[in-house]
Structure 1
Amino acid sequence: MAHLSRVLWSVLSFVTGIGLWWLATFSGLSVLPSPWTVLMRMIELAVSGQLWLDMFASLRRVLIGFILGSLLAVPVGFLMGWYRIARLVIDPWVQFFRVIPPLAIIPLAIVTLGIDEKPKIFVIFLAAFLSSVVSTYQGVVSVDRTFINAARVLGATDRVIFAQVIIPASTPFILVGFRIGLGSAWATVVAAELIAAQSGLGFRMQQAQLYYDLPTIFVSLIAIGILGLIMDRIVVRAEERLTHWQERVRHD
């Protein structure tokens, strides 16, 4: 029943948003295209195959950069949280690059890595890595010392403590970092495709902007939102399965 209620509220929110959008365009208060116009343009692009090609290009870049960034971020975050010397060496660099927008790194990446897929994947990798490494590190340092001390009293070695205490307790933080990293990855890929790309949803928006093709811009935005939402829901489901032991506060 609670699950059905959440679904109904989500559907109601979606319908309300579409209704407000339609009302704004119908009343003439906005220059935005109507939902029907955007839907027709989406069908046109889907039938021609252009929409699927752009979605695949952007999704491929996001997945490669996000997976590589996350895979590196987890062990680096554990090192920073577990070993003080690693934290002193790595943390200044992490904080340094965190304050630099990925958009500012794109020109440098293009000059040094070329104009193919490498610079786009690199900036996505960097965005995902920086988001995930901080969350992983925070998860390690936030582990209750009582658990660690209790494990030591029972004779557990550092290896056992790390595997059976630190990693499980840090998992919620890691998965939150993944969710933030996904958002950063999608924001970065659009920026990268706006500057140097021949395909992708960001590239398609740039081309549509030149011709004031608002429906195509909306189609690309909606496609990004749908893909991002699906990926986020996958991470949420993984979080529910991996952290089912964690006590949760529910507001149903």
Structure 2
Amino acid sequence: MEILAKVTTGRFGLGALSVAVVFILYIIVTNQPDNNPALLPPLTDIFNSFVTNVTSGTLFTALAASLFRIFMGFFIGTTLALILGCLIGWYKVIEYLFDPLIEALRPIPPLAYIPIIIIWFGIGEFSRVLIITIACFMVCVVNVIAGMKNVPQVYVDAAATMGASRFQVFRTVAVPAATPFIITGYRIALAAAWTTLVASELLAAQNGLGFLLQEGRRYFLTDQVMMIIVIIGACAFIMDRIFRKIQARLMQWSEARE
């Protein structure tokens, strides 16, 4: 327990140190005489922008709208990726049917679908969620398939020897064994959801963090832009940490280290 406490403390301390160094360097740069606050606002301006948006309620409204889109796109995309990826990775017939399609569509950036999505579905909320869903699905399904294909054959043989059917091996052996790949796919999908969020909110959105970013660009509110960037990074970091905790809980039997 003492060793674990030391490792945790050391990790937290080093992480806090790296963040502190970035803030200190930013303060030093923004306090230079030749710095233009309109281009690189000091931390006080960024904090004041945060207070202003919180006081007016704008930030909470935008954050709620963006989190809803993130949750919906992430949930739908990863659920489809989990189901289809497990089936593709385990059953050859399904792999032969869907693998060519996935491999053909996977290199296409999710943002490339924006024009056709606008043509087909307009610029409503459905289109914004659909773009995030595509981004999450494409990056997650590859990890799920890889996880299913990397199930140790000795596990499969042992279960089959004990009389388990192919489906029972799939349900009780293969899927649990692929869990590290699946959780990793979820974490990558979460990052993809955040990186796609801003682009999805360009589709005539009237709220959301991406909308505030565009508003800041339009009116040259650099402090607001920087504030939103920090918030997006903080939200993504917190969500990723939650997934890492879930992964650690589910993978207590694994020797893999974080």
TM-score, normalization: structure 1?
0.95
Moved over 6 A (4+): none
Equivalence map 1:86-125=2 (5 Å): 86-125=94-133
What is the DSSP-based 3-state SS (H/G/I as helix, E as strand, rest coil) of the residue aligned with 1:194? coil
Task: Give the Cα separation in 1 of the matches to 2:206 and 2:177.
Answer: 43
Q: Does 1:222 align with 2:230?
A: yes
Cα shift readout 1:40-87 (whole Å, capped 9, x = no counterpart): 111111111111111111111010010011111111001101111211
Unaligned runs of 5+ in 2: 1-5
Alpha-carbon distance between aligned partners in 2 of 1:118 and 1:71, rounded to the nearest angstrom: 17
Indicate the SS of the match to 2:201: helix
SS in 2 for 1:175: helix
Checking the alignment, whether the CA contact within 8 Å between 1:73 and 1:132 is kept in structure 2 is: yes
Query: 1:76 aligns to what?
Result: 84
2:41 is equivalent to residue 2 of structure 1: no
Deviations 1:202-252 (A, max 9, x none): 1111111112110010111111111111111111111001111001247xx
Q: Distance in 2 between matches of 1:23 and 1:5?
A: 27
RMSD: 1.4
Is the 2:123–2:203 Cα contact (8 Å) retained in structure 1? no
SS at match of 2:171: helix
1:236 to 219, 238, 244: 244
CA deviation map 1:96-136 (0-9, x unaligned): 22211111111211221122100000011111111111111
What percentage of aligned pairs have identical amino acids? 35
> Deviation of residue 194 (structure 1)?
2.5
In structure 1, C-alpha distance between the alignment counterparts of 2:257 and 2:19, rounded to whole Å: 25
User: How much does 1:29 deviate?
Assistant: 5.4
Which of residues 206, 226, 234 is equivalent to 1:198? 206
Residue 85 (structure 1) aligned with residue 93 (structure 2): yes
Match among 185, 191, 203 for residue 193 of structure 2: 185
Whole-Å Cα distance in 2 between the matches of residues 141 and 169 of structure 1? 10
TM-score computed with the length of structure 2 as normaliser: 0.93
Output the CA distance in 1 between the equivalents of 2:25 and 2:16.
14
* Counterparts of 1:128 and 1:249, CA distance in 2: 25
In structure 1, distance between residues paired with 2:178 and 2:171: 11
Question: Is 1:39–2:44 an aligned residue pair?
Answer: no
How do 1:15-34 residues align onto structure 2 when only pairs under 5 Å count? 15-27=20-32, 28=34, 31-34=39-42
Q: Work out whether residues 55 and 223 of structure 1, in 8 Å CA contact, stay in contact via their aligned partners in 2.
A: no
Contact 1:62 1:189 in 2 (8 A): yes
